[in-house]
Amino acid sequence: MNAMPAAQPDPMAPLRREWTRLTPAQRISRWLVWLVCAAAVLWAVRSIDIIPEFLEDAPEQMADLLVRMWPPDIAHYYPAVHEALIETLHIATLGTVFCFTLAVPLALLAARNICTIRPLNTLAQLGLVASRSVNSLVWALLFVAIFGPGAAAGVFAIAFRSVGFVGKLLSEALEETSHGPREALRASGASWGAEMLKGVWPQVQPAFWGIALFRWDINVRESAVLGLVGAGGIGLVLDDAINFFQWERVATVLLAILAVVLLAELVVTRIRARLI
Amino acid sequence: MSATMTATAPAAGLASALEIRGLVKEYVAGKPVLRGVDLAVPAEGITAIIGPSGTGKSTLIRCINRLVEPTRGSIKLHGEELTGLSGRGLRLARRRIGMVFQEYNLVERLSVMENVLSGRLGYVPLWRAWLRKYPQADIDRAFMLLDAVGLPEHATRRADALSGGQRQRVGIARALMQRPDILLADEPTSSLDPRTAVEVLELLTRLTAAEGVPVIINIHNVDLAKRYARRIVGMSGGSVIFDGPPEELETHHLRAIYGGEDWM
């Protein structure tokens, strides 16, 4: 400490502290994650055999299809497409309503602050995951086998596919509720039902209606394809038109679906904005 | 209970509303937060519990209405043992115990009126609560209490539109809505500014005196405790180490309760 060396090293050096956001181990593991991602993409591209000739004339085919579709066969809209469209909306609506009768109990069981029995939480979550892991077309195939072809199979397919989605979001909303109000009501001698009704429901209400509308919106789109496997709705009309190469009719159906989806989106955003 | 500096025994003869004997609470087995608390709360007036954070004041209060499950000991409300109750018996006992919270714990998205009426949830059947068809007598009393806490024009406002002081007034009205035999207040003024804190305590004192409801209050502010309480209970390390009227609470007591003296 007494004599300064000639090369004038910084006297503050021992006091200077270094700061880095990540430790070396973290930095390496981040690089590894990127590497794995890149490798996965490369592997995917190599393993799906893209036939170059098909890729080459795809624009041509597309143009040909569009030409065949034009002009859309508007006359075909009423009554065939119209009625199928209405049926599609009914399937979506009934399916959404029915899904809630299953999703609400499951969500209550899955929410760890509502149901404190851990095995039940896990079981309910398992149920929700199972519902989500099966695509609605697959659900529809199952229910067509059970109920025969028609709208009933569609309603059940939509309901069972939605349970997982709605139940998960609902249970998350339940878990985010603050404990204080419930505690206050419990302290005043309220029953479990009253605690749920006045302490929990007001807290999840906006989320509940938001989820319901959002899922209905999705279900309108999903139920449009259910007809492809015979579960009713506009998909059936679409399937027929494609099978008979009636491309003008296909265009009509596609436009009708587009219009309904846009309309549903519009309505849902309007209502959601008012709810929250 | 090593060195209890009981200045005066709770006025003998006057029946106590609440009697706590040998209350022990261990959140983790072998690590008691409450180490055998004995306390008798008189049938009227405010009893203030003071003590450093983490000494078990809140736990003590929550053991009374069983929001926290006591490990051992006895708690009697007007002679009725509370510790063994469960299910319906517990709910009936809780109806008689009002509670006011530090964070108010109102249901934010409900109106002030509904928050006050929710103090009756232990009494009204579920369908009435669901349809909001509370008995007229309850509605009358709710309006009366809203007048009393000075919020008559706020009945239809949503609770989340109120200020902290207003929310705590609603909290007091909700607790009194139960027509409780005793009122527990857990740090009711700690989230409020000094002036509002005094106003809220003033209100709490006045209304509970008018209804003849004894109050147990956890409070950090020793001056406020001395000003409003008829009796002070000093806790430290999970035990009661002072129990007496505010006049008898002296510096050496405070030193024993909070430790050190630099803060005084």
Chain A: residue whose CA lies nearest to B180: A188
Six token digits for residue A250: 């296909």
Q: Is B65 on the interface with A (CB under 8 A)?
A: yes
> How far is residue B93's CA from residue B109's CA, in Å, rounded to a whole number?
28
Residue in chain A nearest B66 by alpha carbon: A187
- The ranges assigned to domains in chain B are 107-179
DSSP secondary structure letters along A198-258? IIIHHHHHHHHHHHHHHHHHHHHHHHTTGGGGTSSSHHHHHHHHHHTT-HHHHHHHHHHHH
Distance to chain A for B106, nearest Cα, Å: 5
Is the CB of A194 less than 8 angstroms away from the CB of B121?
A: yes
- Which residue from A187, A160, A176, A119 is spatially nearest to B58, judged by alpha carbons? A187
Residue A5: pLDDT band (50, 70, 90) is low
State the smallest CA–CA distance between residue B250 and chain A in angstroms: 35
pLDDT digits (tens, 9 = 90+) for A24-72: 899 999 999 999 999 999 999 888 887 888 888 889 889 988 888 888 8
Contact between chains at B118 and A190 (C-beta distance less than 8 A): yes
The tens digit of pLDDT for each residue in A81-129 reads 888 899 999 999 999 999 999 999 999 999 999 999 999 999 999 999 9
How far does B183 lie from chain A, in Å, by closest CA? 11
- Among chain A residues, CA nearest to B125: A194
Q: Please give, rounded to a whole number of angstroms, the shortest distance from the CA of A181 to a CA of chain B.
A: 5
pLDDT of residue B14: 57
Q: Say what the pLDDT of residue A3 is.
A: 52
Chain A contact set for B178 (CB, 8 A)? 188-189
Report the SS3 class of residue A29.
helix
Q: What is the mean pLDDT of residues B43-54?
A: 92
Nearest CA in chain A to B176: A188
Order of strands, edge to edge, in the sheet holding B31-42? Answer: B31-42, B16-28, B72-77, B80-81
Contact indicator for A237, A84 with CB cutoff of 8 Å: yes
User: Residue A10 above 70 pLDDT?
Assistant: yes
CB pairs under 8 A between A and B: 80
Residues 6+ apart with CB under 8 A from A123: A109
Q: What is the pTM of this model?
A: 0.81
Average per-residue pLDDT for chain A: 89
Give the CA angle between residues B153, B158, B163 to the nearest 5°: 75
Would you tell me the crossing angle of helices A82-110 and A151-175 to the nearest 10 degrees?
40
For chain A, which residues make up each domain, given as ranges? 72-275
Distance from CA of A223 to the nearest CA of B (A): 35
Confidence of residue B7 (pLDDT cuts 50, 70, 90): very low
B107 burial (CB, 10 Å; 0-12 / 13-18 / 19+) is: buried
Contact status of B197 with chain A (Cβ, < 8 Å): no
At position A5, the amino acid (one-letter code) is: P
CB contact under 8 A, B174 and A194: no
CATH number of this structure's domain A72-275:
1.10.3720.10
Asked if B216 and B49 touch (Cβ cutoff 8 Å), the reply is yes
Closest CA to A198 of B6, B105, B193: B105
